[in-house]
Chain A
């Protein structure tokens, strides 16, 4: 069965420090990979996506992620976080089969402290 695992439910970090949010997936079919962000009391916003090509993808707000096929990982990074980055981050995969199903991880709450 396909699944997405976000190992950290909450990541506290000080402002201007670097951060990495981890994501691993398991799938028997090829996938597209996504990171979504959800700010407090808001909907989901696409942060970045990996479809093919370069394994390092850049997204909005200074975030980037690296796809590692051998480790089936898609970790999200930012070199210097801001208070405004406080939000919940979801890793997700879309199955590249007839279902085109979007499967989410359980989410990581990033808490940026001054």
Chain B
């Protein structure tokens, strides 16, 4: 089954403790992206990657890092999480040539206390 897999689904952590949210897709998509969803703001792009070793900032990149060492994986790293990063995070992938739109993971609900 074609899918984007995120882990974990839920995470509670403390301020300053480094964490990684994993994202993996099995569709051989070139594009991958991370979004955060906050009430009243919709989904905002954090980082995106057009292919292996090619990443760029989205609209709200502060406090986040990403890497794209393999085509299928695109982890989101919070080096020193803060309470304002409490949010619902989605990973998505796409292949521009297919025009099928983006496929989204199930989301990761992160709480930073």
Contacts and interface: CB of A to CB of B under 8 A. Distances in A.
A42 interface: yes
Chain B contact residues, majority secondary structure? strand
Chain A contact residues, majority secondary structure? strand
A9 B31 contact: no
Given A101-B45, A102-B45, A44 B40 contact: no
A43 B107 contact: yes
Interface residues of B, number: 23
B19 interface: no
Interface stretch (A12-20, A64-72, A103-111): A103-111
Most chain-A Cβ atoms within 10 A of its Cβ — which of B58, B101, B107?
Answer: B101
A90 interface: yes
A1 B68 CA distance: 27
A104 B42 contact: yes
B75 interface: no
Interface residues of A, number: 23
Given A9-B40, A43-B106, 19 more contacts: A32-B99, A36-B104, A42-B107, A43-B90, A43-B105, A44-B43, A44-B90, A90-B42, A92-B43, A94-B101, A94-B102, A100-B96, A101-B48, A101-B58, A102-B33, A102-B102, A104-B35, A104-B42, A106-B41
Interface of B: 31, 33, 35, 40-45, 48, 50, 58, 90, 92, 94, 96, 99, 101-102, 104-107
